[in-house]
Chains A and B, each alone.
Chain A
Amino acid sequence: MQEATFLILTALADGSQHGYGIITDVQQISGGRVRLRAGTLYMALDRLRADELIGVDREEVVDGRLRRYYRLTPAGTKRLADEAARLQAHATVALRRLNLAGGMAR
């Protein structure tokens, strides 16, 4: 799974969000490192909807403009949980080995 996809799904794990909300949340989650552009975001949202990992929660009109809220589907929740567990397992091994290497160096 690409990092942007992982971050978008993570942004939606806490509840439904609209497009601009996802952009600001992804920026926050990544510590300001990832700043999604609108074109990239909607391309990813379109793919995630086609794969049925996210769905539309509701639509609102704010200041005369459409605002669509997206939410994770059960399949999306499972996919994110699987990916997070995979990354965590890799990170745990990496940290353990780094600590071991550091201990030997001392």
Chain B
Amino acid sequence: MTDQEHLERAYRRLLAWYPREFRHENGQEILAVLMADAPDGQRRPGLAQSADLIRSGLWLRLRPSVPRSARTVRAAVKLMYAGAVVSTVNLILLLALIADVKVDHAILGYRLTAAQASRVNTPFITTWILWDLVPIALWLWMARACGRGRNWARIVSTVLLGAATLNLTGAFGPPGFRLSLVPMIYGPALPVLYWLAGLAVVWLLWRPGSRAYFRPPGYTQAQHQAQKAELDHQAQMAELARIRARLPRQV
């Protein structure tokens, strides 16, 4: 195998980080650019080049392609990704805290012997980790689906807000009813913040500006494109009206 073939095969493996549709559309072209950019005799991708491809691939997998015209949907999706990031940071903090057996039992207010603590600790920690993974997964799932214009995701997001409202009331309840470590450590501030973010997301998703972006069942791609063009036209008209308003009045 020649150096070029070796390098090309390595680049093809790195391109697997990209979403399938994107790879199908642009893979050959990116590969051509990568090969043109490589100096003679290079057999393996450089570290920086590899990191750039992995980062871009992951970003494209996570990022929804919401057009600029659908501003409310874009804002809602960004807010959902921000929610996922905060939830992840929160989980990392919790993991750091619950690594210490004494701390997590002190948080719970239990007084256990060392033997009792070690027996109950593993299932507790596992449950908490799984429980705190749920909001991360939900934020990401909803962000992805809403970003793709799935109408069911808008409805599920609203239902989840209802569930979050019920959970929020639990945040103020006695320790025995608390299902997550979040309210135990931070008090009610963080759950309230999550709930407000969720409320803002649902409000944005149901704004009149978002309606055209979400397709009811049975909607075809062509119909969606026509709706998108209509949205763009409306945005252009609004821009034109703004420019006209700024012009001095003619006598």
Against A, the Cβ 8 Å flags (1 = close, 0 = not) of B191-203 are 0000000000000
Interface of A (DSSP majority class): helix
Query: Is B29 a contact of A19 with CB atoms below 8 Å?
Result: yes
Assembled-state Cα–Cα distance A74/B42 (Å): 40
Query: Cβ of B30: which chain A residues have Cβ within 8 Å of it?
Result: 19, 38-39, 42
Partner of A67, one of B29, B57, B60: B29
- A65 lies within 8 A of chain B by Cβ: yes
Query: Cβ of B65: which chain A residues have Cβ within 8 Å of it?
Result: 46, 50
Assembled-state Cα–Cα distance A43/B35 (Å): 18
Q: How many residues on chain B are close to A (CB under 8 Å)?
A: 26
Query: Is B33 a contact of A66 with CB atoms below 8 Å?
Result: no
Assembled-state Cα–Cα distance A20/B34 (Å): 8
Query: Is A39 a contact of B37 with CB atoms below 8 Å?
Result: no
Against B, the Cβ 8 Å flags (1 = close, 0 = not) of A42-82 are 11001000111000000000100111100000000000000
User: A interface, how many residues as a size bin?
Assistant: 10 to 19
- A40 lies within 8 A of chain B by Cβ: yes
Tell me whether A68 and B29 are in contact in the complex, defined as CB-CB below 8 angstroms, given that A23-B37, A39-B55, A46-B22 are known contacts.
yes
Query: Cβ of A67: which chain B residues have Cβ within 8 Å of it?
Result: 29, 32
- B59 lies within 8 A of chain A by Cβ: yes
- A33 lies within 8 A of chain B by Cβ: no
Query: Is B57 a contact of A39 with CB atoms below 8 Å?
Result: yes
Assembled-state Cα–Cα distance A40/B26 (Å): 13
Smallest CB-CB A-B distances: 10 pairs = A39-B56, A39-B52, A65-B32, A37-B52, A39-B53, A19-B33, A66-B28, A43-B56, A20-B36, A38-B33
- Please list the residues of chain B having a beta carbon within 8 angstroms of any beta carbon in chain A: 22, 26, 28-37, 48-49, 52-57, 59-60, 65, 67-68, 232
Known pairs A52-B232, A66-B32, A67-B32 / 6 extra A-B pairs, C-beta < 8 Å? A19-B30, A23-B37, A37-B48, A37-B52, A38-B53, A42-B26
Could you write out 7 A-B pairs with CB less than 8 Å apart? Answer: A23-B33, A23-B37, A38-B37, A39-B52, A42-B56, A46-B60, A50-B65
